[in-house]
Amino acid sequence: MAICNTLDKVIDRWMDPPEQQPTVDPQRVLSGNFVPVDELPPTPCPVVRGSIPSCLAGGAYIRNGPNPQHQFLGRTHHLFDGDGMLHSLLLPSATSTLESVPVLCSRYVRTYKYLLEHEARAPVLPNFLAGFQGLAGLARAMVFAARVFTGQIDLNKGFGVANTSITYFVDCLYALCEYDLPYSVHINPATGEVTTLGRYDFGGNLSLRMTAHPKKDPVTMELFAFSCSAFQPFIRYFWFDREGKKVAGVPIMSSQKPSVLHDFAITERYAIFPESQLIVSPMDMVVRGGSFVGLDSAMVPRIGVLPRYAKDDSDMRWFEVPGFNMLHTTNAWEEPDGEEIVLVGPNILSIEHLLGNMELMRARVDMVRVNLRTGDVSCIALSPENLEFGVVHQGYVGHRNRYGYFGVTGPMPKIIGIRKLDFDLVGFGDCTVARRDFGPGCFAGEPFFVPNNDDRYSNEDNGYVVCYTHEEATGDSHFVVMDARSLELDIIAEVQLPGRIPYGFHGVFVKQAELREQLQL
């Protein structure tokens, strides 16, 4: 271990010093509100504006994001490599006393990586996105292999950071990242305490990894997912029934290259896989001294369409969509005639900046239509603004819906405002029907839509948009609740948080009944 630690320091200092790569220099990328925070035990928070709507009472908003456990300025760092930390705000129930207030708790996800490095009091696993480039990346790979060979690292326990998203399925909460298994977590509905229960393989039926963006059909209650690999099969598709039992996976052999597939979509009859120009290429690092993940500018992005309950990939069809690089999907559905599939999501116009200089990334929400009978494909922009992190009413996932809520990015992953788009206005110019800007120096995270319990399905936008915000001048962070039906997305409730919430990724709102039904795996 001492030898490996010394070799890592030599590589970091002499072969790959971070000051020579500003895009992955911790002094630059871990500054401001990206600076990691300490864990926070359940702590009361005052409601400083309005009152919490009844449909949120007793529930919890939980947002995931990177928060490096160790800050060593001599090592390159990419935002995506940070250890996962959950920031959970438990809201008082409708039957609580007048003295009851929201409770914030911030805890690391106790991944194998976190526990290993917590015990070592230093980084042990390499930063995969920032560290695997050129000869230095090859050297790190050799040290990593030596650690595995000598028993310092047990690959059977995974090496993910569980920092990307969180989902609720069959009475369980899972923290996710796409290169490891899910980690089961528990939110105490009485105290707000966040506890990691452990890495979860669904009864031994899931191995190695799963996407951070599974899709739950609100009608069938099934969960659909996939995993990616740098080797064939590049994509493996699978799903779980409403009881949580995994159905046998489908290896997709028709994918020509190991594209970075971060998200996908479902409809009532299909699963949709958007291939981008970002390619995983370990041999490029070994042979040409390139990067583990790089851009293939000659590749034409494609959309793959597979029957949702396929037994194999014989019916997989691919459709080229030039210039369409999708990182996150927003929703997809089938038109009534069954011939046409519609996919909505942000198109990353400068995807080469994803691996560095993320603040330069630009995204435009597009609607792609694929005619399964004729093979015709069309793509139209829904807004001229730089929008990402789109969400819809979760009761419409995989089904035709009208409204989407998007963050105005500037710079990524900071969000300067929220926009509500009306998909029924496509073809008539800008589809924006409501907007909120947070003001100079105030940035938010991904929005999430919570429906009003009194009218969940008859009016799709009857509900609230929630997110965390941060004011850089004062260092204050807040939880805000916005009226989704108002033209300016009016803030109707605001909670002042006791600590700073760093900028992160994806979140979810879990209702009071779901919190109470959580299993202790």
- pLDDT value at position 40? 98
Binding residues: 213, 262, 328, 506
Domain boundaries, the chain: 1-517
Read off the tokens for 134.
Answer: 């050129």
Q: For residue 349, which of 319, 379, 369 has the smallest C-alpha distance?
A: 379
Annotated binding site for Fe cation: 213, 262, 328, 506
Predicted pLDDT of residue 96: 62
**Burial environment of residue 452 by CB neighbours within 10 A (0 to 12, 13 to 18, 19 or more):** middle
Q: Name the E strands within 4-101.
A: 40-44, 47-50, 60-66, 84-90
Mean pLDDT by groups of 10 residues along the chain of 521 residues: 91 86 84 95 96 95 95 79 96 74 97 95 86 83 93 92 96 95 96 96 89 97 94 93 92 88 96 92 64 82 96 95 94 93 94 75 94 96 95 96 95 91 94 97 96 74 97 96 97 96 96 91 59
CB-based contact 365:345 (threshold 8 Å): yes
C-alpha to C-alpha distance for 151 and 1, rounded to whole angstroms: 10
Q: Write b or e for each residue in 60-83: b if 16 or more Cβ atoms lie within 10 A of its Cβ, otherwise e.
A: bbbbbbbbbbeeeeebbbbbbbbb
Does the predicted model carry a pTM greater than 0.85? yes
The reported pLDDT for the residue numbered 521 is: 59
Q: How many CA atoms lie within 13 A of 7 on its CB side?
A: 19
CA 470, 472, 473, 476 dihedral sign is: positive
| Among candidate residues 36, 90, 24, the one with its CA nearest the CA of residue 59 | 90
Q: For tokens 């009864």, what's the residue? A: 203
How far is CA 380 from each of CA 337, 346, 422, rounded to the nearest angstrom? 21, 11, 14
- CATH superfamily placement of domain 1-517: YVTN repeat-like/Quinoprotein amine dehydrogenase (2.130.10.10)
Q: For position 255, what pLDDT does the model report?
A: 86
Query: Is there a contact between 270 and 250 (Cβ–Cβ < 8 Å)?
Result: no
Which residue, among 318, 331, 426, 314, has the nearest Cα to 375 in the 3D structure?
318
